A and B are shown apart, each in its own frame.
Chain A
Amino acid sequence: GAVVSQHPSWVICKSGTSVKIECRSLDFQATTMFWYRQFPKQSLMLMATSNEGSKATYEQGVEKDKFLINHASLTLSTLTVTSAHPEDSSFYICSARGPAGGSANTGELFFGEGSRLTVL
């Protein structure tokens, strides 16, 4: 249980286009999801907290107009990289707090497989 899936796993796009990445909790409802960015050989950097039915909370330094987050349902959060540029190329990973009553209360997060974005 507690599986998180991302799609697409990799995407290549032209500079100036927008790209949407989906994060789904497959077997549980996730009111809160998190989006991370990871540069090669580096750690994960939290970009934003996605809350179902409300606006996302962005970390300092993350452009909210650049990285649009929508959490329209309890099983889906999307990250849209708008007007992508080569410097946006990165590995984007989402995570979700586990099912209520279980790991949701103990801080454990479940991670998607990640989505590699390459902007040409």
Chain B
Amino acid sequence: AQSVTQPDIHITVSEGASLELRCNYSYGATPYLFWYVQSPGQGLQLLLKYFSGDTLVQGIKGFEAEFKRSQSSFNLRKPSVHWSDAAEYFCAVGPRAAGNKLTFGGGTRVLVKP
């Protein structure tokens, strides 16, 4: 069965500092990979996705993520965080076949200090 692990439940970072959120997955084959962001009381917004090709993908809001097959990881990074980046971040995996049933990680809550 597939699973997604986000080892860090909370991360606190100073504004302007870099941010890295970890995501590890267990899957039978190479899945589709996603990062979503959720602001309090809101739905989820897609930050970026990986399907194939270049393993370093660029997303919105200055985020990027790198797919490392050997490590089964898809870590999210941002060089310089803004106060508005404070939110909950979810990594998700889904099958390449039809179905689109995503499996979500437990989420990482990011707090940005002034």
> What residues make up the interface of B, taking CB atoms closer than 8 Å to A?
32, 34, 36, 41-46, 49, 51, 90, 94-96, 100-102, 104-107, 109
Contact = CB atoms under 8 A, between A and B. Distances in A.
Contacts of A97: 100
Contacts of B94: 107, 109
Interface in A74-120: 91, 93, 95, 97, 106-114, 116
B32 A43 contact: no
19 contacts: A4-B43, A42-B106, A42-B107, A43-B105, A43-B106, A44-B90, A93-B43, A93-B44, A107-B34, A107-B49, A107-B96, A107-B100, A108-B32, A109-B102, A110-B46, A111-B44, A112-B43, A113-B43, A114-B41
A32 interface: yes
